[in-house]
Amino acid sequence: MSDKIYTVSQLNKYIKQRFEDDIILNSVMIRGEISNFKVHTSGHCYFTLKDTSASIKCVAFRSFAMRLRFAPQNGMKVIAKGYVSIYERDGAYQLYVQGLVPEGIGELSLALEQLKEKLSKEGLFDSKYKKPLPFYPKKIGVVTSRTGAVIRDICHVAKRRNSLVKIVLYSVLVQGEEASTQICEGINFFNKKYPVDVLIVGRGGGSMEDLWAFNEEKVVRAIFNSKIPVISAVGHETDYSLSDFVSDMRAATPSQAAELAVPERDGLINYIDTLQKELNYKYYKQIESKKSQLQMLLQNSLLMHKDKLLVSKQQQMDLLIERLYKSAQISFKDKFHQATLLNEKLQTLNPINILKRGYSLTKKQNKFIKSVKDVQQNDFLQIVLADGTIKVKVIDIDKQDK
């Protein structure tokens, strides 16, 4: 038995060094099922990889976790690549993850399905948000690379169909790390600074990795938020991207996008001619119909004997006038009777009539006296009679006892 005594820290450091010296543990790939997955506020991801009889703790630091294109979930079978070392503070060994791919399905395919499901739940692909393409666009914006065949194909088809249509290019990278940002900038440019009637966003064919910029969430949201109708033209006929699902119209190829956006000039002229002929036909049909109706009205018996019609109407007018006159008379008698009754009531209440019966009114300084309390000795009063006024002086006041 060794006589040397080690501290816990020394032991853990020694074990960690042995882990680091092991060739296999320095770079190992482990297959397992994710459980207890958690994202810390620092951005680091902590989870456990397990199989039917064992488990190992894992950590993926923020710098790596940010580059993951899919979202790890509990129950997902993955292959993790990294190195095994010991966390000295706890004395626990764990796998430090430097690579993580889903087992049985590609990383990009899984990321695409996860993002598609997320955006679909938000309603970004709903048909109710699809904007109709303009019937006759004058300016078409194109967001693609200036060096690819896409812009050449669009210009060729557009000019062949209608040489008056103006094509405006916003050149962007269509693959690589900066592509998605530039595509968003192009869409926003046409929406905010250079309005056009319709937008074509796309590129030529390629692998899923090549087309990935058109699956980025910010590109999908930029298309959804566009006030201008957007035609997606990404890849070949069999290629599909999330831009296809969110756009207002999907074209199998850039050439087809130009055909959808630009109506054929000769076809428009023929369509206008057809409308003109149809309008003239309906116009003459309406004239003929109105003529027939007029002839039928002119042959009507009432119009043929209009004097009889006037006599009948004149008799109706005479009857109405007679009824109106009788109604006015009855109304006048009622109102006259009501006025007579009101006049009699007024005469009854008229103070002059009361004075005629021998009564009088007494006033002091033009104010009626209601009580002896309102009068003092030597006051001058006016006694109002039916036929005049008597001015008197108060000599004495005789109050009645109650």
> Distance between CA atoms of 392 and 149, rounded to whole angstroms?
127
Would you give the distance in Å from CA 394 to the centre of its chain?
93
- Asked whether 368 and 381 are in contact (CB, 8 A), the reply is no
pLDDT at residue 194, as a whole number:
94
pLDDT at residue 115, as a whole number:
82
> Distance between CA atoms of 389 and 361, rounded to whole angstroms?
9
- Entry pTM: 0.51
Residue 335 CB neighbours (<10 A)? 10
pLDDT at residue 110, as a whole number:
72
Within 13 Å of residue 359, how many CA atoms lie on the same side as its CB? 8
- Asked whether 198 and 142 are in contact (CB, 8 A), the reply is no
Token pair for 36: 């207890």
In order along its 402 residues, the chain shows pLDDT tens digits of 457 888 888 888 888 888 888 888 888 888 888 888 999 988 899 999 888 788 899 999 998 888 887 788 887 888 888 899 988 888 889 999 988 887 765 566 777 778 888 888 899 989 999 999 998 899 999 999 998 889 999 999 999 888 889 999 999 999 888 999 999 999 999 999 999 999 999 998 877 778 889 988 999 999 999 999 999 998 776 768 889 999 999 998 888 999 999 987 766 667 777 788 788 888 888 888 888 888 887 776 666 666 666 766 777 888 888 888 888 888 888 888 888 888 877 777 766 666 666 677 788 888 878 777 778 888 888 887 777 888 888 788 787 765
pLDDT at residue 104, as a whole number:
62
- Asked whether 55 and 113 are in contact (CB, 8 A), the reply is no
Alpha helices in 247-305 (DSSP H): 254-261, 265-298, 301-304
pLDDT at residue 386, as a whole number:
72
